[in-house]
Structure 1
Amino acid sequence: MGPVNLTATQLAKLTIDAYADIKFKQPTGIRWQALLNPTELSFSRKNLYQATQSAGTSAPQQSFSGGEPDQVQIDLLLDGTGVVGEPGSIGPLLDALLELTRFQGDTHQPYYVHAFWGRFGFRGILTQADVTYKLFDRAGEPLRATVKLSLKEALSAEETAAQDRPSSPDLYQTWLVEDGETLDAIAARVYGDPAYWRPLAAANRLANPRGLRTGQLLVLPPLAAGR
């Protein structure tokens, strides 16, 4: 059998980073990474419209009255049978994931999470985690489980205002690094100036700006943050 070329998405695993604040500027240092790629990922966006009946019309007029936060559901398989990595209980990995649904002890606020995998990136809070255990060992430790994660978008007041202006450079975005790309080249394409590599490196906590990896996901800070 010849060599198999894997895409960046196949190589990457779903990763969830936790932050203490809704502006996603205070990382907690907590990172959770899936054993296997998501089996399913669904996205939901809902806009609200208000019907107003005008005199002399046969049908009400629909006027946009606002939108609800975007929602994402991620279906995961956790497997400790040895299919991926060393065999053993998935209990600790599952406990670490469920901990992200709790409130932070010092702020009494939920963890704000950045979930990313390949070109997918979503920032919000974990609103629900449904776990179904599929397999146990003789000691009763879980070896396999499916998890349905529900996330709801969380935006700061500043980001909400910026999002209402689609052309605004004030929104955070993500960038999937391709083979051979450099930080200054990415900065030139995104911000129009290669000198913006410094705030880009700082935003991603890159100790070695020249050590980009193919398939690495970068957070692109707002243009104002790069000035």
Structure 2
Amino acid sequence: MILDTALLTKLTLEPYRDQEFQEPAGTPWRAMLNPTELTFSRKNTYQATPSAGSSAPQQSFGGGEPDQVQIDLLLDGTGVIESDESVGERLDALLALTEFQSDTHQPYYVHAYWGRFDFRGVLTQVDVTYKLFDRAGEPLRAAAKLTLKEVVAPQEAAAQERRESPDLYQTWEVREGERLDTIAYRVYGDPAFWQPLAEVNRLVNPAGLVPGQVLLLPPKAADR
């Protein structure tokens, strides 16, 4: 039996040139078979400070580290799965996502998604184990373990960190598909704050945001 992978929703890796994920950099890479395992990791760091009169040091929060995911994939070229590319060709395309770009002087940024899984970051490591070969030595089956580390654009990180700083003005560059209420929720934690946003930016049509448009984000305390 030959599986028709066109009928399946497949894990997709989209390469971008910029950490805002606005400049696509070529054709997306799609898995032949969906992940056999996906591991998510989040880590905070703490610093131990000796405390006088106590045998246990005090733990002070040192900051959060980028989220990380590991994805286990299987590539099969034995004919069980229909494919126009060999296992070797698909691995070459996958490994190309880690290559140095001459214009940006760094590898690609990668948007990985599949079902509810949605992750934006960089591909920090690819481990490949070849499982089967043909008589000419070409790989027929391989297992790949991908490690991605989260990347957050500076403006988004600033918006997240400044939610509790009502005295600071910010700006926001609109992305494809974003709405004013979703921006209000991400910045202020309140989708109803879209109205002050519309007023400050003098938006005649609040629903007509354009990708690349820059919005002024007022201090929440100034309007509420």
Alpha-carbon shift at residue 111 of structure 1 (Å): 0.4
Match of 2:59 in 1: 62
Q: Distance in 1 between matches of 2:37 and 2:164?
A: 31
Match of 2:160 in 1: 163
C-alpha RMSD over aligned residues: 3.4
Aligned to 1:33, which of 30, 34, 51?
Answer: 30
Letter in 2 for 1:122: F
Does structure 1 conserve the Cα–Cα contact (< 8 Å) formed by 2:174 and 2:215? no
Distance 1:147 1:112, change over 3 A: same
Distance 1:88 1:14, change over 3 A: closer
Max Rg structure = 2
Alpha-carbon shift at residue 197 of structure 1 (Å): 7.2
Match of 2:124 in 1: 127
Q: Distance in 2 between matches of 1:45 and 1:17?
A: 23
Does structure 2 conserve the Cα–Cα contact (< 8 Å) formed by 1:70 and 1:153? yes
Q: Which runs of 4+ in 1 moved over 4 A?
A: 165-168, 170-173, 186-195, 222-225
Alpha-carbon shift at residue 124 of structure 1 (Å): 0.8
Q: Distance in 2 between matches of 1:141 and 1:43?
A: 33
Alpha-carbon shift at residue 102 of structure 1 (Å): 0.9
- Identity in percent: 61
- Gaps in structure 2 of 5+ consecutive residues: 1-6, 166-171, 184-190, 195-204, 217-224
Match of 1:112 in 2: 109
Question: What is the count of residue pairs matched by the alignment?
Answer: 186
Question: TM-score when scaled to structure 1?
Answer: 0.69
Alpha-carbon shift at residue 86 of structure 1 (Å): 3.8
Q: Distance in 1 between matches of 2:160 and 2:60?
A: 19
Distance 1:86 1:111, change over 3 A: closer
Match of 1:51 in 2: 48
Does structure 2 conserve the Cα–Cα contact (< 8 Å) formed by 1:16 and 1:32? yes
Letter in 2 for 1:156: A
- Gaps in structure 1 of 5+ consecutive residues: 1-9, 174-182, 204-221
Question: TM-score when scaled to structure 2?
Answer: 0.70
Does structure 2 conserve the Cα–Cα contact (< 8 Å) formed by 1:163 and 1:171? no
